[in-house]
Amino acid sequence: MSRIELKNIDKYYGGNHVLKNLNLTIEDGEFMTLLGPSGCGKTTTLRVLSGLENPQHGVILMDGTEVVNADDLFFMAPSKRGLNLVFQSYALWPHMTVFENVAFGLSLKKLPKDEIKKRVQDALNRMQIGEFVQRYPSELSGGQQQRVAIARAIVSEPKLLLLDEPLSNLDAKLRMDMRTEIKRLHKELGTTVVYVTHDQTEALTMSTRIAIFFNGILEQVDTPIHIYTNPVSLKVADFIGNPKTNFVEAKGEVKNGRMYVESPIGNFDFNSKYFTDEEIPSGKFDVVLGVRPEQIVLHEDNSGHTEGHIYSVQPSGSETLVQVKVNDEILLVKEIGLKRYQDDQKVSLTVHTHLMTVYNKETGRLIKYAIETEEDLN
pLDDT tens, 70-92?
A: 999 999 999 899 888 888 777 88
Please tell me the total number of residues recorded for the chain in this structure.
378
Same domain, 52 and 189: yes
Looking at the predicted structure, is the pLDDT value of residue 1 above 60? no
In contact, 31 and 208? CB cutoff 8 Å: yes
Render 141-183 in DSSP notation, one character per residue. -HHHHHHHHHHHHHTT--SEEEEESTTTTS-HHHHHHHHHHHH
Let me know whether 157 and 78 are in one domain.
yes
67 and 167 belong to one structural domain: yes
What is the predicted pLDDT for the residue at 378?
Answer: 63
Same domain membership, residue 284 and residue 170: no
Return d(Cα 252, Cα 285) in angstroms, integer.
5
Mean pLDDT of the chain: 91
pLDDT tens digits for range 247-267: 999 999 999 889 999 999 999
**End residue of a domain, out of 205, 232, 259:** 232
Q: What is the CATH number of the domain that holds 132?
A: 3.40.50.300
Question: Within this chain, do residues 264 and 370 fall inside the same structural domain, yes or no?
Answer: yes
Q: Do 76 and 214 share a domain, yes or no? A: yes
Tell me the per-residue pLDDT of 320-333, one tens digit each, with 9 for 90 and over.
Answer: 999 999 998 999 99
Looking at the fold, whether 208 and 331 belong to one and the same domain comes out as no
Single out the residue in 232, 252, 272 at which a domain terminates. 232
Same domain, 211 and 280: no
Query: What confidence tens digit (pLDDT) does each residue in 180-214 have?
Result: 888 888 888 889 999 999 999 999 999 999 999 99
| Domain-ending residue, one of 232, 260, 275 | 232
The whole-number pLDDT of residue 246 equals 97
Domain that holds residue 200: 4-232
Predicted confidence band of residue 128 (pLDDT cuts 50, 70, 90): confident
Q: What is the DSSP string of 38-71?
A: TTSSHHHHHHHHHTSS--SEEEEEETTEEEEEGG
Cβ-contact 72, 148 below 8 angstroms: no
Which runs of consecutive H residues, i.e. helices, occur in 207-361?
A: 224-229, 234-239
150 CB contacts (<8 Å, ≥6 apart)?
Answer: 86, 127, 163, 166, 181, 182, 185
Same domain as 250, residue 188: no
Q: pLDDT value at position 376?
A: 67
Domain count for the chain, please give it.
Answer: 2
Edge to edge, what strands does the sheet with 4-13 contain? 16-26, 4-13, 57-62, 65-69, 74-75
Query: What pLDDT, on a 0 to 100 scale, did the predictor assign at position 375?
Result: 66
Residues 33-80: tens digit of each pLDDT: 999 998 899 999 999 999 999 999 999 999 999 999 999 999 999 989
pLDDT band at 20 (very low <50, low <70, confident <90, very high): very high
Whether 135 and 162 have beta carbons less than 8 Å apart is answered as no
Q: Helix, strand, or coil here: 353?
A: helix
Which among 103-117, 164-178, 255-269 has the top mean pLDDT? 255-269
Q: What is the phi/psi pair of residue 356, to 5°? A: -70, 140
CB environment 165-191: b (16+ within 10 A), e (fewer): bbbeebeeebbeebbebbbebbeebeb
CATH of the domain at 351: 2.40.50.140
Within this chain, do residues 197 and 335 fall inside the same structural domain, yes or no?
no
Express as a percent the part of the chain with pLDDT over 90: 63
Residue 237 Cα distances to 87, 197, 208, 246, 250, angstroms: 29, 18, 19, 9, 17
Indicate whether 58 and 91 sit together in one domain. yes
- pTM value is 0.90
Q: How would you classify the pairing of strands 209-214 and 31-35?
A: parallel
pLDDT at 49: 95
Asked if 165 and 30 sit in the same domain, the reply is yes
- Calculate mean pLDDT across residues 19-32: 96
